[in-house]
Amino acid sequence: MKKVLILSVALMLCMLKNSNAQTPEVFKQKGYQLTFINQDPTFSKDLSAKLIKTFFEVYPKLAKEYNKNTAKKVTFIIDTAYKGVAATWQDTVHFSPVYMSAHPGDIDVVTHEVMHIVQAYVDFNGPGWLTEGIADYARFKFGVDNAGANWSLPAYKSTQNYDNSYRITARFLVWIEKNVKPNLVIDLNNQLREHTFTDDSWKKETGKTLDELWKAYIANPVV
């Protein structure tokens, strides 16, 4: 009986600990609401606070620049079942506690992921590499501490191509805006969300095809 009692108490304490860890916290600032759900009781409170602070710092800026009608209520989940870095679905971002705890300086994972919420490419049929490239472009432009994560856009290499996605595509977009068409990303983002983007969009916006833009980029890739 004594052993059963001890086990029962231990089980209750464990359940209570996990329950407390998963109690949603709701924060409101600047017209936006963030619900924060932590499934990992060992996750750093300081890191949680940084994730929350970064959201309220960057999300209103991204909304103003790219989609004023973006979701006003967002959810962050420190998801013990998620094994990647982070992933976004609709208005919810799942963060890996393992990755974030090992890379506490990579706070602008938030910036990349919430840009996906702002993009709102529902039933999107455009190129995935461009979606991710735009999200990393947003991180480059609006990130709060990319340097602290040792995160930067990579120098051009001959093995790269515009559809390599993420930072490689982001750097290409930065170059286009500097040398060919300012604010191109705003235009492409609107077209992708409104389902008006086509392969001809590059030509219509810049006067050059995508391949022609890439050829010009690799001839002088300085940004």
Q: What is the pLDDT of residues 130-160, one digit of tens each?
A: 999 999 999 999 999 999 999 999 999 999 9
Both 148 and 169 in one domain: the answer is yes
Question: Of 70, 98, 120, which closes a domain?
Answer: 120
Both 84 and 135 in one domain: the answer is no
Both 114 and 30 in one domain: the answer is yes
How many folded domains does the chain comprise? Answer: 2
Q: Which domain holds residue 141?
A: 125-223
Over the chain, what is the mean pLDDT? 91
Both 212 and 142 in one domain: the answer is yes
Both 138 and 101 in one domain: the answer is no
Question: Of 120, 145, 175, which closes a domain?
Answer: 120
Average pLDDT for 5-25 = 49
Cβ-contact 51, 108 below 8 angstroms: no
Instruction: Answer whether residue 7 is part of any domain.
Output: no
* Percent of the chain clearing pLDDT 70 (strictly above): 90
**If DSSP states are collapsed to H, E and C, what string results for the chain?**
CHHHHHHHHHHHHHHHHHHHHCCCEEEEECCEEEEEEECCCCCCHHHHHHHHHHHHHHHHHHHHHHCCCCCCEEEEEECCCCCCCEEEECCEEEECHHHHHHCCCCCCHHHHHHHHHHHCCCCCCCCHHHHHHHHHHHHHHHCCCCHHHCCCCCCCCCCCCHHHCHHHHHHHHHHHHHHCCCCHHHHHHHHHHHCCCCCCHHHHHHCCCHHHHHHHHHHCCCC
Question: Of 82, 105, 120, which closes a domain?
Answer: 120
97/44 Cα distance (integer angstroms): 9
Both 183 and 214 in one domain: the answer is yes
When mean pLDDT is compared across 32-41, 47-56, 87-96, 119-128, the lowest value belongs to 119-128
Both 140 and 104 in one domain: the answer is no
Instruction: Answer whether residue 19 is part of any domain.
Output: no
When mean pLDDT is compared across 15-19, 140-144, 199-203, the lowest value belongs to 15-19
When mean pLDDT is compared across 100-109, 118-127, 182-191, the lowest value belongs to 118-127
Both 221 and 207 in one domain: the answer is yes
In this prediction the pTM is: 0.89
Instruction: Answer whether residue 12 is part of any domain.
Output: no
217/221 Cα distance (integer angstroms): 5
Whole-number pLDDT of residue 183: 97
Instruction: Answer whether residue 48 is part of any domain.
Output: yes
Instruction: Answer whether residue 55 is part of any domain.
Output: yes
Q: Is the pLDDT of residue 35 over 90?
A: yes
Residue type at 102 in one-letter notation: A
Both 107 and 147 in one domain: the answer is no
Cβ-contact 188, 197 below 8 angstroms: yes
Both 116 and 168 in one domain: the answer is no
